[in-house]
Structure 1
Protein backbone atom coordinates (compact mmCIF):
# COMPACT_ATOMS: atom_id res chain seq x y z
CA UNK A 1 0.00 0.00 0.00
CA UNK A 2 2.85 2.36 0.89
CA UNK A 3 4.51 1.59 -2.45
CA UNK A 4 1.31 2.39 -4.32
CA UNK A 5 0.90 5.65 -2.40
CA UNK A 6 4.52 6.61 -3.10
CA UNK A 7 4.06 5.86 -6.80
CA UNK A 8 0.94 8.00 -6.94
CA UNK A 9 2.73 10.88 -5.24
CA UNK A 10 5.66 10.62 -7.66
CA UNK A 11 3.32 10.55 -10.66
CA UNK A 12 1.43 13.57 -9.37
CA UNK A 13 4.66 15.51 -8.90
CA UNK A 14 5.89 14.49 -12.35
CA UNK A 15 2.75 15.75 -14.04
CA UNK A 16 2.86 18.94 -12.00
CA UNK A 17 6.45 19.54 -13.10
CA UNK A 18 5.57 18.98 -16.74
CA UNK A 19 2.58 21.29 -16.48
CA UNK A 20 4.73 24.07 -15.02
CA UNK A 21 7.53 23.67 -17.53
CA UNK A 22 7.45 26.56 -20.00
CA UNK A 23 6.80 25.77 -23.65
CA UNK A 24 9.91 26.27 -25.74
CA UNK A 25 9.22 28.26 -28.91
CA UNK A 26 11.96 28.50 -31.53
CA UNK A 27 11.86 31.26 -34.12
CA UNK A 28 13.53 29.86 -37.23
CA UNK A 29 14.55 32.31 -39.94
CA UNK A 30 16.92 34.82 -41.48
CA UNK A 31 18.48 38.17 -40.47
CA UNK A 32 15.13 39.60 -39.35
CA UNK A 33 14.91 36.82 -36.77
CA UNK A 34 18.62 37.09 -35.98
CA UNK A 35 17.97 40.71 -34.98
CA UNK A 36 14.80 39.64 -33.18
CA UNK A 37 16.73 38.76 -30.02
CA UNK A 38 18.26 42.23 -29.70
CA UNK A 39 17.02 44.47 -26.87
CA UNK A 40 14.45 46.04 -29.20
CA UNK A 41 13.86 42.98 -31.41
CA UNK A 42 10.50 41.39 -32.03
CA UNK A 43 11.32 38.25 -30.01
CA UNK A 44 12.37 40.37 -27.03
CA UNK A 45 9.19 42.45 -27.34
CA UNK A 46 7.13 39.30 -27.67
CA UNK A 47 8.53 38.19 -24.33
CA UNK A 48 6.80 41.16 -22.71
CA UNK A 49 3.45 40.26 -24.30
CA UNK A 50 3.42 36.57 -23.36
CA UNK A 51 3.44 35.04 -19.88
CA UNK A 52 7.13 34.50 -19.07
CA UNK A 53 6.21 31.58 -16.85
CA UNK A 54 4.56 29.76 -19.73
CA UNK A 55 6.97 30.36 -22.60
CA UNK A 56 10.68 30.15 -23.36
CA UNK A 57 11.48 32.09 -26.54
CA UNK A 58 14.57 31.14 -28.57
CA UNK A 59 15.83 32.88 -31.71
CA UNK A 60 17.52 30.82 -34.41
CA UNK A 61 17.97 33.29 -37.23
CA UNK A 62 20.97 33.65 -39.55
CA UNK A 63 21.42 36.53 -41.99
CA UNK A 64 20.99 35.69 -45.66
CA UNK A 65 19.25 32.38 -45.03
CA UNK A 66 16.78 30.97 -47.51
CA UNK A 67 14.49 27.97 -47.09
CA UNK A 68 17.24 25.56 -48.20
CA UNK A 69 19.60 26.94 -45.53
CA UNK A 70 16.96 26.32 -42.89
CA UNK A 71 16.61 22.75 -44.08
CA UNK A 72 20.38 22.20 -43.79
CA UNK A 73 20.55 23.40 -40.17
CA UNK A 74 17.23 21.99 -39.04
CA UNK A 75 18.73 19.07 -37.11
CA UNK A 76 21.16 21.09 -35.00
CA UNK A 77 19.26 24.35 -34.56
CA UNK A 78 15.76 22.95 -34.10
CA UNK A 79 15.27 19.21 -33.69
CA UNK A 80 18.17 18.76 -31.26
CA UNK A 81 16.75 21.58 -29.10
CA UNK A 82 13.47 19.68 -28.60
CA UNK A 83 11.10 22.65 -28.91
CA UNK A 84 7.37 22.48 -28.36
CA UNK A 85 6.62 25.02 -31.09
CA UNK A 86 8.57 26.34 -34.09
CA UNK A 87 7.72 29.55 -35.94
CA UNK A 88 9.11 29.47 -39.48
CA UNK A 89 9.69 32.92 -40.97
CA UNK A 90 11.52 32.67 -44.27
CA UNK A 91 11.03 33.80 -47.86
CA UNK A 92 12.41 37.32 -48.14
CA UNK A 93 15.86 36.20 -49.29
CA UNK A 94 14.39 33.52 -51.54
CA UNK A 95 12.76 36.41 -53.43
CA UNK A 96 15.15 39.30 -52.78
CA UNK A 97 18.31 37.46 -53.84
CA UNK A 98 16.86 36.80 -57.28
CA UNK A 99 17.25 40.47 -58.07
CA UNK A 100 20.25 41.31 -55.90
CA UNK A 101 22.53 38.38 -56.70
CA UNK A 102 20.68 35.90 -58.90
CA UNK A 103 20.66 33.29 -56.12
CA UNK A 104 17.02 33.20 -55.12
CA UNK A 105 14.90 30.07 -54.84
CA UNK A 106 12.69 28.81 -57.66
CA UNK A 107 9.02 28.33 -56.72
CA UNK A 108 9.00 24.53 -56.98
CA UNK A 109 12.12 24.19 -54.82
CA UNK A 110 10.79 26.68 -52.30
CA UNK A 111 7.61 24.67 -51.79
CA UNK A 112 9.51 21.36 -51.74
CA UNK A 113 11.99 22.37 -49.04
CA UNK A 114 9.35 24.20 -47.01
CA UNK A 115 7.17 21.07 -46.97
CA UNK A 116 10.22 19.00 -45.99
CA UNK A 117 10.77 21.29 -42.98
CA UNK A 118 7.16 20.82 -41.93
CA UNK A 119 7.31 17.04 -42.36
CA UNK A 120 10.47 16.63 -40.28
CA UNK A 121 9.15 18.75 -37.43
CA UNK A 122 5.71 17.15 -37.38
CA UNK A 123 7.43 13.74 -37.24
CA UNK A 124 8.96 14.89 -33.92
CA UNK A 125 5.53 16.04 -32.63
CA UNK A 126 6.59 19.68 -32.85
CA UNK A 127 3.82 22.20 -33.40
CA UNK A 128 4.62 24.33 -36.44
CA UNK A 129 3.49 27.89 -37.16
CA UNK A 130 4.00 29.38 -40.64
CA UNK A 131 4.69 33.04 -41.35
CA UNK A 132 4.46 34.85 -44.67
CA UNK A 133 7.37 37.16 -45.62
CA UNK A 134 6.52 40.72 -44.69
CA UNK A 135 7.96 43.23 -47.14
CA UNK A 136 10.71 44.23 -49.55
CA UNK A 137 9.69 47.86 -49.86
CA UNK A 138 6.77 49.47 -48.06
CA UNK A 139 4.85 51.11 -50.91
CA UNK A 140 1.28 49.88 -50.57
CA UNK A 141 0.29 50.02 -54.26
CA UNK A 142 2.35 47.02 -55.49
CA UNK A 143 5.03 49.22 -57.09
CA UNK A 144 7.94 47.78 -55.09
CA UNK A 145 10.28 45.81 -57.36
CA UNK A 146 9.69 42.40 -55.76
CA UNK A 147 5.99 42.74 -54.92
CA UNK A 148 4.91 40.22 -57.55
CA UNK A 149 7.19 37.44 -56.37
CA UNK A 150 6.65 38.29 -52.71
CA UNK A 151 2.90 37.99 -53.14
CA UNK A 152 3.36 34.69 -54.99
CA UNK A 153 5.62 33.15 -52.34
CA UNK A 154 3.29 34.35 -49.61
CA UNK A 155 0.49 32.52 -51.38
CA UNK A 156 2.63 29.35 -51.42
CA UNK A 157 2.96 29.59 -47.64
CA UNK A 158 -0.76 30.20 -47.17
CA UNK A 159 -1.44 27.09 -49.26
CA UNK A 160 1.07 25.05 -47.23
CA UNK A 161 -0.62 26.18 -44.01
CA UNK A 162 -4.02 25.12 -45.34
CA UNK A 163 -2.72 21.83 -46.75
CA UNK A 164 -1.02 20.87 -43.47
CA UNK A 165 -3.70 22.34 -41.20
CA UNK A 166 -1.21 24.68 -39.52
CA UNK A 167 -1.59 28.10 -37.90
CA UNK A 168 -0.57 31.03 -40.09
CA UNK A 169 0.78 34.46 -39.17
CA UNK A 170 0.09 36.42 -42.35
CA UNK A 171 2.61 39.23 -42.02
CA UNK A 172 2.45 40.02 -45.73
CA UNK A 173 -1.20 40.98 -45.46
CA UNK A 174 -0.70 42.70 -42.10
CA UNK A 175 2.15 44.86 -43.44
CA UNK A 176 0.22 45.83 -46.57
CA UNK A 177 -2.84 46.77 -44.53
CA UNK A 178 -0.71 48.78 -42.10
CA UNK A 179 1.03 50.66 -44.92
CA UNK A 180 -2.27 51.60 -46.56
CA UNK A 181 -3.42 53.17 -43.30
CA UNK A 182 -0.13 54.67 -42.07
CA UNK A 183 1.92 55.51 -45.16
CA UNK A 184 0.11 58.46 -46.81
CA UNK A 185 3.18 59.47 -48.87
CA UNK A 186 3.66 55.88 -50.12
CA UNK A 187 7.27 55.81 -48.87
CA UNK A 188 9.36 52.71 -49.59
CA UNK A 189 10.86 52.57 -46.10
CA UNK A 190 10.68 54.14 -42.65
CA UNK A 191 7.19 53.00 -41.72
CA UNK A 192 7.85 49.54 -40.23
CA UNK A 193 11.37 49.04 -41.65
CA UNK A 194 14.71 50.81 -41.66
CA UNK A 195 15.78 49.74 -45.16
CA UNK A 196 12.64 48.28 -46.85
CA UNK A 197 13.22 44.86 -45.19
CA UNK A 198 14.62 44.95 -41.64
CA UNK A 199 12.39 46.13 -38.83
CA UNK A 200 12.52 49.41 -36.98
CA UNK A 201 11.20 49.75 -33.42
CA UNK A 202 7.62 50.18 -34.60
CA UNK A 203 7.99 47.19 -36.91
CA UNK A 204 9.37 44.98 -34.17
CA UNK A 205 6.45 45.89 -31.89
CA UNK A 206 3.96 45.31 -34.72
CA UNK A 207 5.39 41.87 -35.53
CA UNK A 208 5.42 40.91 -31.84
CA UNK A 209 1.74 41.83 -31.56
CA UNK A 210 0.81 39.83 -34.67
CA UNK A 211 2.66 36.78 -33.40
CA UNK A 212 1.27 37.03 -29.88
CA UNK A 213 -2.27 36.63 -31.24
CA UNK A 214 -1.37 33.15 -32.48
CA UNK A 215 1.25 31.98 -29.99
CA UNK A 216 -0.80 32.69 -26.87
CA UNK A 217 -3.10 29.89 -28.01
CA UNK A 218 -0.42 27.29 -27.27
Structure 2
Protein backbone atom coordinates (compact mmCIF):
# COMPACT_ATOMS: atom_id res chain seq x y z
CA UNK A 1 0.00 0.00 0.00
CA UNK A 2 1.32 3.43 -0.94
CA UNK A 3 1.97 5.79 2.02
CA UNK A 4 -0.59 8.37 0.95
CA UNK A 5 -3.27 5.69 0.75
CA UNK A 6 -3.19 5.34 4.53
CA UNK A 7 -4.02 9.03 4.81
CA UNK A 8 -7.04 8.83 2.52
CA UNK A 9 -9.64 7.90 5.19
CA UNK A 10 -8.45 10.74 7.44
CA UNK A 11 -8.60 13.22 4.56
CA UNK A 12 -12.10 12.08 3.64
CA UNK A 13 -13.18 12.53 7.25
CA UNK A 14 -11.80 16.06 7.36
CA UNK A 15 -13.51 16.97 4.10
CA UNK A 16 -16.81 15.51 5.30
CA UNK A 17 -16.59 17.30 8.63
CA UNK A 18 -15.71 20.60 6.97
CA UNK A 19 -18.67 20.36 4.63
CA UNK A 20 -21.01 19.72 7.56
CA UNK A 21 -19.90 22.78 9.56
CA UNK A 22 -22.17 25.73 8.66
CA UNK A 23 -20.50 28.93 7.51
CA UNK A 24 -20.90 31.94 9.79
CA UNK A 25 -23.76 34.25 8.86
CA UNK A 26 -22.23 37.36 7.27
CA UNK A 27 -23.70 40.65 8.47
CA UNK A 28 -22.60 43.72 6.50
CA UNK A 29 -23.05 47.26 7.83
CA UNK A 30 -23.44 49.71 4.96
CA UNK A 31 -23.28 53.45 5.54
CA UNK A 32 -21.31 56.64 6.14
CA UNK A 33 -18.82 57.83 8.79
CA UNK A 34 -21.11 56.73 11.62
CA UNK A 35 -20.73 53.16 10.39
CA UNK A 36 -17.05 53.66 9.54
CA UNK A 37 -16.47 54.67 13.16
CA UNK A 38 -18.78 51.91 14.33
CA UNK A 39 -16.16 49.24 13.63
CA UNK A 40 -13.63 50.94 15.89
CA UNK A 41 -13.20 50.03 19.56
CA UNK A 42 -16.37 51.00 21.39
CA UNK A 43 -18.31 51.45 18.14
CA UNK A 44 -21.74 49.90 17.71
CA UNK A 45 -20.51 47.26 15.24
CA UNK A 46 -17.70 46.27 17.61
CA UNK A 47 -20.15 46.04 20.52
CA UNK A 48 -22.43 43.75 18.51
CA UNK A 49 -19.44 41.65 17.40
CA UNK A 50 -18.35 41.04 20.99
CA UNK A 51 -21.85 39.87 21.86
CA UNK A 52 -22.18 37.31 19.05
CA UNK A 53 -20.60 33.88 18.67
CA UNK A 54 -17.81 34.31 16.10
CA UNK A 55 -18.39 30.76 14.83
CA UNK A 56 -21.95 31.70 13.90
CA UNK A 57 -21.62 35.33 12.80
CA UNK A 58 -19.13 37.29 10.71
CA UNK A 59 -19.46 41.10 10.83
CA UNK A 60 -18.20 43.36 8.05
CA UNK A 61 -18.08 47.15 8.12
CA UNK A 62 -18.63 49.04 4.86
CA UNK A 63 -18.93 52.64 5.99
CA UNK A 64 -17.19 55.58 4.31
CA UNK A 65 -17.16 59.10 5.73
CA UNK A 66 -19.18 61.70 3.83
CA UNK A 67 -21.25 59.13 1.94
CA UNK A 68 -24.79 59.87 0.87
CA UNK A 69 -27.34 57.46 -0.51
CA UNK A 70 -26.10 57.76 -4.11
CA UNK A 71 -22.53 57.02 -2.96
CA UNK A 72 -23.82 53.79 -1.46
CA UNK A 73 -25.54 52.96 -4.73
CA UNK A 74 -22.37 53.58 -6.75
CA UNK A 75 -20.26 51.27 -4.60
CA UNK A 76 -22.96 48.67 -3.97
CA UNK A 77 -21.46 46.04 -6.29
CA UNK A 78 -17.87 46.27 -5.03
CA UNK A 79 -18.48 46.84 -1.33
CA UNK A 80 -21.61 44.77 -0.73
CA UNK A 81 -22.81 42.35 -3.39
CA UNK A 82 -19.35 40.98 -4.19
CA UNK A 83 -18.98 39.97 -0.53
CA UNK A 84 -22.14 37.81 -0.59
CA UNK A 85 -23.61 38.96 2.74
CA UNK A 86 -26.54 37.21 4.37
CA UNK A 87 -27.80 40.41 5.98
CA UNK A 88 -27.19 44.06 5.04
CA UNK A 89 -27.83 46.85 7.55
CA UNK A 90 -28.39 50.17 5.72
CA UNK A 91 -27.70 53.22 7.89
CA UNK A 92 -27.57 56.38 5.77
CA UNK A 93 -29.29 59.75 5.41
CA UNK A 94 -27.53 62.19 7.73
CA UNK A 95 -25.20 63.54 5.03
CA UNK A 96 -28.03 63.75 2.50
CA UNK A 97 -29.58 66.36 4.78
CA UNK A 98 -26.54 67.80 6.59
CA UNK A 99 -24.49 68.50 3.46
CA UNK A 100 -27.22 70.69 2.03
CA UNK A 101 -26.18 73.29 4.58
CA UNK A 102 -22.52 72.45 5.18
CA UNK A 103 -21.38 72.07 1.57
CA UNK A 104 -24.37 72.46 -0.72
CA UNK A 105 -24.14 68.83 -1.88
CA UNK A 106 -27.04 67.15 -0.15
CA UNK A 107 -29.65 64.98 -1.84
CA UNK A 108 -33.10 66.15 -2.88
CA UNK A 109 -35.85 64.20 -1.15
CA UNK A 110 -37.26 62.61 -4.32
CA UNK A 111 -33.78 61.50 -5.45
CA UNK A 112 -33.06 60.16 -1.99
CA UNK A 113 -36.12 57.91 -2.22
CA UNK A 114 -35.25 56.67 -5.72
CA UNK A 115 -31.66 55.76 -4.84
CA UNK A 116 -32.73 54.12 -1.58
CA UNK A 117 -35.40 52.15 -3.42
CA UNK A 118 -32.78 50.99 -5.92
CA UNK A 119 -30.51 49.83 -3.09
CA UNK A 120 -33.30 47.76 -1.60
CA UNK A 121 -34.21 46.15 -4.93
CA UNK A 122 -30.63 45.19 -5.84
CA UNK A 123 -29.76 43.85 -2.41
CA UNK A 124 -33.02 41.90 -2.21
CA UNK A 125 -32.38 40.42 -5.66
CA UNK A 126 -29.03 39.08 -4.39
CA UNK A 127 -30.85 37.04 -1.76
CA UNK A 128 -29.58 39.00 1.24
CA UNK A 129 -31.94 40.15 3.96
CA UNK A 130 -32.05 43.87 4.78
CA UNK A 131 -32.40 45.91 7.97
CA UNK A 132 -33.12 49.63 7.59
CA UNK A 133 -32.14 52.40 10.00
CA UNK A 134 -33.44 55.96 10.05
CA UNK A 135 -30.83 58.73 10.48
CA UNK A 136 -30.73 59.76 14.14
CA UNK A 137 -29.85 63.40 14.73
CA UNK A 138 -28.11 66.49 13.40
CA UNK A 139 -27.98 68.29 16.74
CA UNK A 140 -29.50 67.05 19.98
CA UNK A 141 -31.67 69.96 21.09
CA UNK A 142 -35.23 69.07 22.03
CA UNK A 143 -38.61 69.84 20.51
CA UNK A 144 -37.44 70.41 16.94
CA UNK A 145 -35.02 73.18 17.91
CA UNK A 146 -32.17 71.96 15.70
CA UNK A 147 -31.91 73.76 12.38
CA UNK A 148 -32.28 70.64 10.21
CA UNK A 149 -34.83 68.73 12.30
CA UNK A 150 -37.69 69.29 9.88
CA UNK A 151 -35.73 68.02 6.88
CA UNK A 152 -34.33 65.09 8.82
CA UNK A 153 -37.84 64.10 9.91
CA UNK A 154 -38.95 64.04 6.27
CA UNK A 155 -36.08 61.76 5.18
CA UNK A 156 -36.58 59.48 8.16
CA UNK A 157 -40.26 59.33 7.23
CA UNK A 158 -39.36 58.20 3.72
CA UNK A 159 -37.29 55.34 5.13
CA UNK A 160 -40.20 54.29 7.35
CA UNK A 161 -42.42 54.19 4.25
CA UNK A 162 -39.87 52.08 2.36
CA UNK A 163 -39.60 49.65 5.27
CA UNK A 164 -43.38 49.25 5.33
CA UNK A 165 -43.65 48.97 1.54
CA UNK A 166 -41.03 46.22 1.33
CA UNK A 167 -41.91 44.58 4.65
CA UNK A 168 -38.41 45.12 6.04
CA UNK A 169 -37.32 45.36 9.69
CA UNK A 170 -36.69 48.93 10.77
CA UNK A 171 -34.58 50.43 13.55
CA UNK A 172 -36.12 53.87 13.96
CA UNK A 173 -33.14 55.69 15.42
CA UNK A 174 -34.69 59.06 14.63
CA UNK A 175 -37.62 58.41 16.97
CA UNK A 176 -35.43 56.67 19.55
CA UNK A 177 -32.82 59.43 19.79
CA UNK A 178 -35.47 62.16 19.83
CA UNK A 179 -37.26 60.51 22.75
CA UNK A 180 -34.01 59.86 24.60
CA UNK A 181 -32.89 63.48 24.29
CA UNK A 182 -36.28 64.71 25.41
CA UNK A 183 -35.92 62.71 28.62
CA UNK A 184 -32.18 63.10 29.21
CA UNK A 185 -31.16 66.55 27.96
CA UNK A 186 -32.30 68.98 30.69
CA UNK A 187 -29.89 71.73 29.58
CA UNK A 188 -31.03 71.38 25.96
CA UNK A 189 -27.48 71.11 24.65
CA UNK A 190 -26.75 70.42 20.97
CA UNK A 191 -24.32 67.57 21.60
CA UNK A 192 -22.77 65.23 24.19
CA UNK A 193 -25.94 63.31 25.11
CA UNK A 194 -25.71 60.48 22.55
CA UNK A 195 -23.21 62.12 20.19
CA UNK A 196 -19.79 63.74 20.31
CA UNK A 197 -20.63 66.54 17.90
CA UNK A 198 -24.38 66.40 17.31
CA UNK A 199 -24.02 63.66 14.66
CA UNK A 200 -21.37 61.02 15.44
CA UNK A 201 -22.07 58.60 18.26
CA UNK A 202 -20.47 58.71 21.70
CA UNK A 203 -20.27 55.66 23.96
CA UNK A 204 -23.92 55.87 25.01
CA UNK A 205 -25.03 56.40 21.44
CA UNK A 206 -23.08 53.39 20.21
CA UNK A 207 -24.50 51.24 23.00
CA UNK A 208 -28.02 52.36 22.20
CA UNK A 209 -27.67 51.60 18.48
CA UNK A 210 -26.08 48.21 19.20
CA UNK A 211 -28.88 47.29 21.61
CA UNK A 212 -31.51 48.06 18.95
CA UNK A 213 -29.79 46.16 16.14
CA UNK A 214 -28.72 43.07 18.07
CA UNK A 215 -32.15 41.39 18.40
CA UNK A 216 -32.83 41.81 14.66
CA UNK A 217 -29.43 40.41 13.72
CA UNK A 218 -29.93 37.38 15.96
Fold shared by both chains (TM-score > 0.5): yes
**Aligned twin of 1:161:** 163
Matched ranges for 1:1-218 at <5 A: 16-17=20-21, 20-216=22-218
Q: When the two structures are aligned, how many residues end up with a matched partner?
A: 206
Q: For 1:130 and 1:122, locate their aligned partners in 2 and report how far apart those are by CA, in whole Å.
A: 12
Tell me by how many angstroms 1:13 deviates: 5.4
Q: Which runs of 4+ in 1 moved over 6 A?
A: none
How far apart in 2 are the matches of 1:104 and 1:143?
21
- Residue 40 of structure 1 and its aligned partner are, at CA, apart by 1.4
Per the normalisation by structure 2, the TM-score is 0.90
Superposition CA RMSD, Å:
1.7
SS of alignment partner, residue 60 of structure 1: strand
- Give 1:210 deviation, angstroms: 1.1
Per-residue deviation, 1:15: 6.7
Alpha-carbon distance in structure 2 between the residues aligned to 1:215 and 1:171: 16
Q: Which residue of 1 aligns with 2:3?
A: none
Q: Aligned partners of 1:192, 1:53: CA distance in 2, in Å?
A: 32
Q: Can you give the 5+ residue segments of structure 1 that lack an aligned partner in the other structure?
A: 1-8
C-alpha distance in 2, partners of 1:172/1:188? Answer: 15
Query: Which position in structure 2 is the counterpart of 1:6?
Result: none
Structure 1: how far apart are the matches of 2:97 and 2:210? 23
Describe the SS at the equivalent of 1:128.
strand
Specify the SS of the correspondent of 1:211: helix
Q: Any unmatched runs of 5+ in structure 2?
A: 1-12
Give the secondary-structure state (helix, strand or coil) at the position aligned to 1:129.
Answer: strand
1:14 Cα deviation from its structure 2 partner: 7.2
- Partners of 2:20 and 2:156 lie apart in 1 by 41
Deviations, residues 121-164 of structure 1 (Å, cap 9, x unaligned): 11110101110001100112111011001100000000000001
How far off is 1:49 after superposition? Answer: 2.5
Q: Match of 2:10? A: none
TM-score norm. by structure 1 comes to 0.90
* Cα distance in 2, alignment partners of residues 118 and 15 from structure 1: 32
Cα distance in 2 for residues equivalent to 1:214 and 1:45: 15
Structure-2 separation of matches of 1:207 and 1:38? 14
Give SS of 1:111's match. helix
